[in-house]
Amino acid sequence: MSSVLVRLLPAARASDYQQFRSILDDPALADEGIAVQTWGSPLLLVPVGGQRRGGYYPAATWSTTLQIWLRIRRRQGFPRTRIRWSRDLEVCHNVIWGAEPPQEGDRARGRFYGYSETAINDFLSRFPQVQEMPDAPA
């Protein structure tokens, strides 16, 4: 199995940079983030700050997970960086930073990840059925 090259790039190079700027309560946090490129388009890692208390990045392989963890674990804005290994072969491993997210309530999780009330309300109005299900990556 070959190792994946992990590249860290400026935040604005992330394919989801503008999306994060549009949903974060403090859009400037997107500017302080890091774009991570593994297989395809770079994706944004948003640091903690303001209302945002944590974040995570789902990585497909153990090698990618470890490389990302090694590269961000001492960066400002990514406190308590750790790995949550998946026990399920069909579910990604996660690199996690900050506090542990609330276990229940999509509104509480949205606030934890620093999303604006407008973005949270928009999400919940479009996907009311997910209010009791786990959130997507943040």
Going by C-beta distance under 8 Å and a sequence separation of 6 or more, which residues neighbour residue 8?
34, 35, 36, 37, 71, 72
Give the global pTM. 0.86
pLDDT tens for each residue of 68-119: 999 999 999 999 999 999 888 777 899 999 999 998 889 999 999 999 999 9
Under the banding of pLDDT at 50, 70 and 90, the label for residue 137 is low
Q: Write the DSSP symbol of residue 73.
A: T
pLDDT tens for each residue of 6-35: 999 999 999 999 999 999 999 999 999 999
The Cα–Cα gap between 48 and 72 comes to 13
> CA 40 from chain center: how many Å?
16
- Of 13 and 5, the one with more pLDDT: 13
